[in-house]
Each structure stands twice: as structure tokens, then as C-alpha cells.
């Protein structure tokens, strides 16, 4: 690690890089932090990082596209200045010194371009096809984010740019086969972009464009000077051009791409449920970009869905539909009039079964064990044992739509879309209380659960708050509604003087959208399970969750990897106690079972969580 005045995070996204990862990590030793996001490599990449480089912050995420993967990785960085190199890129010692010096000079530029020298089969390319390439590898993450392009992602920069003098070496492809496989992957992603643009491939795309691309890179760009290597590169780039239209034609021929579908997703429940089920809408819109995606929810959950670009229409299930059978049946006939092609019932209750059945949709999808009235003609599994750290809440919903994806990659992360105006308002609110969220560890704490039987005992919670407050450079915010202010003040008065001094009770979200904006400024979220935790996860914030004894942790502890998202439950320490009692008993005697989950059992894992995610 360096002794930089201004700290730097080195970031990388990797997949099967066992031949590069050691050199990359050694090369990035000038940074103060190294974060690697792996797309579940099948080689020894994860093993090498975990065993040989324990200081590296290692995460795994299913790859969907380059922009999403890079933006996700940016969220994991601790420091504002980042270097985002590929695993096959190398910076010289002189180049590393230039980067450190540039950052420490407090430049007005927010991003810096760097030249790249390309190597193919271990030898430098002598012509200027690639060696005129410049790309941004050093930037401030608070001022930059990657575009939504699936391939050849572009960094959107909000500010001035500059350039670095020292070039970096790019050992892009060691073999012809490696280069070909990489280009074919790009072809598929590029085909997906073309699909969104409604391009119809013709003879021009299949015959003329590939031949011209070969001519361009082999003759016009002087690839011929590299001999056989130049020919290989031009030939593979030509094949890349041809295959993107082959893949495009396959996608357009698949069910749903030619026909514009109308799809209704039903999730009538709480905020966390509605937020998690947005992954159904998000993924179907990615797979069927020309189709119309509608989402049926309760009115009070609408804020977590607003501004979602993957949802074309929000359909509200009003309370009056439950109070009046006539209004409910009128609503059912309106649903049938919409003539949906696909209806997906993620709720699985009687009223959602009725909506699904009355829709008359060609495909009516739901959980087999929750079906009533023969509502579903496509039944899927509703598992009770998770297969991964994604959690049952995610895996169950994936079952509802995965067979509709036709090869389109699945992104199973719920997302929230906070507007720039909302962000600015939250920043202004914090500044009015003399809080700079980029310099301070701002911790949101959910002290009260959505119900009494989902609330960690207050004396225990006070001990945890006092423990957190002992950490340097922290500021605590309590998540509560104005109606709960009396109870919150009682809890505040029980806290230590240090905890009180580090807590600001006046910063609260007046509604769900304003809470989301404030949470977006926070470093992490700690507290009782509930909608707030799921909001934090959707904003890519580290979370530490305390579950009620009667709640099945496996169902709702989504993406619990033990590092970025951690959770605790009585069952973690006393499994025999939970196993011999029914859910009904656990819920009825929640205070008794909560009493076993003493703060002393939590301190170690909470301390590890804090040490991992607190800023310096």
C-alpha cells in the first residue's frame, strides 16, 4: 500500500484471469485499496486472490454487461479517486508515480486519458490500428459513471479531462483462440444493442460490412505490416462483424422479439416484496425491449417503483377493490380488456389468482403450490431451500421469468432510481447539518422494525448503537417516521453520551422517496430487517441485518455474502432452539426467543463489518 496523501482505489472486473491476476495485483500495489469483482470464474482466479492476496476486497457478481459490472464495482470503492485497469493492462513504475502525483496535486480535472500500447501473441503491434487508442483509466467516481452500452462501454464524465504522459501496455490476447472467443462475446452483446435499435439485417450486413471491415483493418489501417498477426486480427474482426448480425437475426426470430408483447407482473404486498419483484420487470424489458411491461402493486409501495425505466406503466390495486366486490369485479373486467399476452403472479394469493385467471392471457405464470382456481397454465417451483447466497426471495422470482429470457443474461439485483434533484436535495439537507457524506461515515440505523415482533429488543439495540458510536469519524442517522419520534427520543436518551453526540435525529425522510435519497448518501445500513434494508441493497450499500426469530432468514437475507451484506439470526447460534418450535410459536413468543440473541454474540461480526466498510 502507498503513502498517498489522497487515497486511491484500484478496481478491476475479471473472469478466468488466472494467467494475469498475480501480475495485475502486484502492478496495482501503489493504490491504497484494491477491489476485484469476479464473474464467477471457473479457473483458479478466485482461489489465487483469496489465498495469496488477503488484503484485496474480493466480490463476485453474475456478469450481465460491461457497463453494469463496472458501475457496480464503482459502488464498492472506498475512495473517490479510482484507477480502473483491465487485468491484462500494466502501468510502468514511472506511470504509477505520475498517477499518484497527479491525484495529490488536487487537479481541477476529474478524469485522465492514457495511451495504450497493444500486444498480440506477446509482441507489440507495430502499426497504428490500436496504438493510437486513448482511454480513461484514472478518474473521480463521484463525477463519472459508465453508459448503458452493453459493449465498448463509455465513461460519462461530469467535469474537465486531462491526459497522462506515460502509456500503459495492454497484453490484450495471448492466442488467436482467445481473441476470437472474446470478439464473439462482443458480437452477442452488440447484437443486443442492435436489437434495441430495431435494426433489420440484410445482405449488406452479412456480405458487405464484414468484407469492408477486413479491408479497413488489414489494408487501410496497415495491419499488413504485422504479417500473419495483422491478417489474423483483420479476419477475426471481420468475423465479429458478421456474427453480430447472425446473433441479431436469431434474437429477432425468438418468441416475443417480433411480436410486441403486453406483460403484467403482479406483486401486491410490502415495500421489500415490490422492490425485489422489480427484477422480473427489469429483466423482461431487457429481453423484450419492444414490449410493454406493466406492474400491479399497492399504492403505498409506488415510491420504490417510480422512475424505473424498465416499467412502462404502474397499475394500482386500490384499497376500495377489497372493500367493494363490485369495484373488484369491475377491476377484473378492466384487466381482461387490456388483453395481456403474459401475466406473472409473484404474489400467489386468492385475489392475484383471480386477476391472473380473468386476464385471459395466453401465458399465465405462477407458483404451482400457490395456485388456486386453475389460474396458471405455466407453473413454476417455489423452493424452500436456497441454492445460493442470492436467497430464496430472489431465486423464487427468477423461476417466474427465466424461461422467457431466450439467452438474455439475467440481472437479479433490484434497482432504485433516485433523480438528480432528489440527490441534490438530500445533499443540501446534510450540508445544512454540517455533514459531508463523502468525508464522513454516515450510518443509517433501523432501530424499529415494521412490527413489534420484528424489532430487536431496545436495550440490546442501544448496546449496538453505543458500540458503533465508538468508531472514529461516524455519524448516525435513525430511520423512523415522524409518528415514531416519541419512541425514538426515548431510545436516544438511553444511549451513551458519545452515541448521542454522534447522532442527528433531525435528519429523517419525510416520505419513502426522500428516505431513498438520504440513504443514497449513506455509507451503510445497520438494523432490523425490513423495507429499509432492501432499499439500501438496491442502492448498492453495505448492510448488516438483524432478523426476527420467526422470520426465515434464508428467504429474505438476499445476497448475503458475509462481507458486503451480513445478517444475524437466533438460529445462527441456537439452531436447536428454533428447530423445535413452530413459526406460530416463534412469532407468539418473539420476546423470549429474541432474548437469546444478546449483543455480545453480534459484536464480533458487526466489528468486522464496520472495519471492512468504514472510510479512513
Q: What DSSP string describes 257-283? A: TSS--EEEEE--S-HHHHHHHHHHHHH
pLDDT at 129 over 60: no
Q: What is the distance between the alpha carbons of residues 146 and 71, in angstroms, rounded to a whole number?
A: 6
pLDDT on residue 131 = 55
Residue among 197, 203, 191, 193 nearest 245 (CA): 191
Tell me, yes or no, if the two domains 8-173 and 420-613 fold the same way: no
Mean predicted confidence (pLDDT) in 388-411? 91
Place domain 420-613 in its CATH homologous superfamily. Glycogen Phosphorylase B; (3.40.50.2000)
Reduced to 3 states, what is the DSSP secondary structure of residue 178? helix
Average of per-residue pLDDT values in the chain: 90
Q: Say which residue the cell 505520475 belongs to.
A: 98
Question: How many residues are recorded in the chain?
Answer: 616
Measure the CA–CA gap between 457 and 150, rounded to whole angstroms.
47
pLDDT band with cut points at 50, 70 and 90 for residue 149: low
The pLDDT of residue 224 is above 90 = no
Cell of 427: 445533499
- How sure is the predictor about 182, in pLDDT bands with cuts at 50, 70 and 90? confident
Q: Residue 210: what pLDDT?
A: 92
Where exactly are the structural domains of the chain? 8-173, 176-253, 262-404, 420-613
- As a whole number of angstroms, the distance between CA 163 and CA 80 comes to 18
pLDDT confidence bin for 194, thresholds 50/70/90: confident
Residue 572 pLDDT = 95
- At residue 59, the pLDDT reads 92
pLDDT bucket at 258, cuts 50 / 70 / 90: very low
Q: What local confidence, expressed as pLDDT, does residue 130 receive?
A: 52
Rounded distance, CA 547 to CA 587, Å?
12
For residue range 22-45, list pLDDT tens digits in order. Answer: 999 999 999 999 999 999 899 999
pLDDT tens string 71-119 = 999 989 999 999 999 999 999 999 999 999 999 999 999 999 999 887 7
Query: What pLDDT is recorded for position 189?
Result: 79
pLDDT confidence tier of residue 433, bands split at 50, 70 and 90 = very high
User: Which among 344, 300, 279, 362 is positioned nearest to 64, based on CA atoms?
Assistant: 279
Multiple choice CATH, 8-173, 3.10.50.40, 3.30.450.20, 3.30.70.100, 3.90.550.10: 3.90.550.10
Reported as a single tens digit per residue, the pLDDT across 571-580 is: 999 999 999 9
Distance between CA atoms of residues 190 and 246, nearest Å? 11
* Neighbouring C-beta atoms of residue 611, cutoff 10 Å: 9
Give the pLDDT confidence score for residue 259 in this predicted structure: 54
**Quick one: cell of 36?**
476485484
Instruction: State the pLDDT confidence band at 456, using cuts at 50, 70 and 90.
Output: very high
Residue 4 — pLDDT band, cuts 50, 70, 90? low
Looking at residue 522, what is its pLDDT?
95
pLDDT of 332 strictly over 90:
yes
Topology of domain 262-404 in CATH is Rossmann fold (3.40.50)
Q: How do residues 5-15 score in pLDDT, each as one tens digit? A: 889 999 999 99
For 460-479, write each residue's pLDDT tens digit. Answer: 999 999 999 999 999 999 99
Residue-level pLDDT at 1: 46
Amino acid at each position: 500500500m502507498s503513502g498517498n496523501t489522497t487515497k486511491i482505489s484500484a478496481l478491476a472486473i475479471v473472469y478466468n484471469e488466472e494467467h494475469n491476476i498475480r501480475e495485475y495485483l502486484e502492478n496495482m500495489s501503489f493504490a491504497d485499496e484494491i477491489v476485484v469483482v469476479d464473474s464467477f470464474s471457473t479457473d483458479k482466479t478466485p482461489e489465487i486472490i483469496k489465498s495469496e492476496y488477503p488484503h484485496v476486497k474480493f466480490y463476485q457478481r453474475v456478469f450481465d454487461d460491461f457497463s453494469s459490472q463496472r458501475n457496480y464495482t464503482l459502488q464498492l470503492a472506498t475512495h473517490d479517486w479510482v484507477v480502473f485497469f483491465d487485468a491484462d493492462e500494466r502501468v510502468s513504475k514511472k506511470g504509477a508515480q505520475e498517477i499518484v502525483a497527479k491525484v495529490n496535486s488536487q487537479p481541477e480535472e476529474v478524469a485522465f486519458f492514457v495511451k495504450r500500447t497493444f500486444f498480440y501473441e506477446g509482441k507489440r503491434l507495430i502499426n497504428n490500428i490500436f496504438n493510437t487508442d486513448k482511454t480513461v483509466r484514472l478518474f473521480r467516481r463521484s463525477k463519472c459513471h459508465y453508459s448503458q452500452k452493453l459493449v465498448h462501454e463509455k465513461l460519462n464524465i461530469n467535469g474537465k479531462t486531462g491526459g497522462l504522459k506515460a502509456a500503459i501496455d495492454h497484453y490484450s490476447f495471448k492466442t488467436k483462440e482467445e481473441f476470437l472467443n472474446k470478439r464473439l462475446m462482443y458480437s452477442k452483446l452488440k447484437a443486443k444493442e442492435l436489437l434495441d435499435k430495431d435494426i433489420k439485417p440484410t445482405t449488406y450486413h452479412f456480405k458487405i460490412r464484414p468484407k469492408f471491415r477486413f479491408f479497413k483493418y488489414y489494408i487501410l489501417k496497415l495491419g499488413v505490416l504485422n504479417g500473419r498477426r495483422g491478417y489474423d486480427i483483420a479476419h477475426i474482426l471481420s468475423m465479429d462483424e458478421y456474427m453480430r448480425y447472425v446473433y441479431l437475426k436469431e434474437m429477432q426470430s425468438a418468441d416475443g422479439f417480433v411480436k410486441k408483447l403486453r406483460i403484467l407482473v403482479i406483486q401486491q404486498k410490502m415495500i421489500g416484496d415490490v422492490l425485489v419483484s422489480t427484477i422480473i420487470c427489469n429483466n423482461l424489458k431487457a429481453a423484450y425491449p419492444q414490449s410493454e411491461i406493466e406492474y400491479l402493486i399497492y399504492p403505498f409501495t409506488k415510491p420504490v417503483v417510480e422512475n424505473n425505466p424498465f416499467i412502462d406503466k404502474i397499475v394500482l390495486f386500490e384499497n376500495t377493490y377489497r372493500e367493494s366486490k363490485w369495484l373488484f369485479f369491475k377491476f377484473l373486467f378492466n384487466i381482461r380488456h387490456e388483453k395481456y399476452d403474459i401475466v406473472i403472479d409473484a404474489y400467489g394469493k386468492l385475489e392475484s389468482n383471480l386477476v391472473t385467471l380473468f386476464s385471459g392471457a395466453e401465458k399465465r405464470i405462477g407458483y404451482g403450490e400457490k395456485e388456486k382456481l386453475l389460474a396458471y397454465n405455466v407453473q413454476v417451483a417455489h423452493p424452500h431451500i436456497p441454492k445460493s447466497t442470492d436467497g430464496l426471495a430472489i431465486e423464487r422470482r427468477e423461476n417466474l421469468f427465466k424461461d422467457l429470457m431466450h439467452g438474455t443474461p439475467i440481472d437479479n439485483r433490484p434497482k432504485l432510481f433516485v433523480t438528480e434533484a432528489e440527490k441534490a436535495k438530500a445533499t443540501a439537507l446534510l450540508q445544512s447539518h454540517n455533514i459531508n457524506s463523502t468525508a464522513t461515515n454516515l450510518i443509517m440505523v433501523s432501530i424499529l422494525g415494521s412490527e413489534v415482533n420484528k424489532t430487536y429488543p431496545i436495550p440490546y439495540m442501544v448496546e449496538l448503537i453505543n458500540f458503533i458510536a465508538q468508531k472514529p469519524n461516524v455519524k448516525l442517522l435513525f430511520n423512523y417516521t415522524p409518528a415514531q419520534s416519541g419512541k425514538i427520543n426515548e431510545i436516544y436518551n438511553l444511549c451513551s453520551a458519545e452515541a448521542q453526540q454522534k447522532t442527528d435525529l433531525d435528519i429523517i425522510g419525510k416520505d419513502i422517496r426522500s428516505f431513498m435519497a438520504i440513504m443514497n448518501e449513506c455509507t451503510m445500513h445497520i438494523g432490523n430487517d425490513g423495507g429499509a434494508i432492501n432499499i439500501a441493497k438496491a442502492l448498492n450499500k453495505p448492510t448488516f441485518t438483524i432478523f426476527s426469530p420467526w422470520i426465515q432468514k434464508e428467504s429474505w437475507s438476499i445476497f448475503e455474502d458475509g462481507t458486503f451484506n451480513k445478517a444475524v439470526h437466533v438460529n445462527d447460534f441456537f439452531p436447536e432452539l428454533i428447530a423445535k418450535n413452530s413459526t406460530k410459536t416463534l412469532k407468539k413468543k418473539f420476546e423470549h426467543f429474541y432474548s437469546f440473541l444478546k449483543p455480545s454474540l453480534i459484536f464480533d461480526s458487526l466489528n468486522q463489518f464496520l472495519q471492512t466498510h468504514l472510510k479512513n
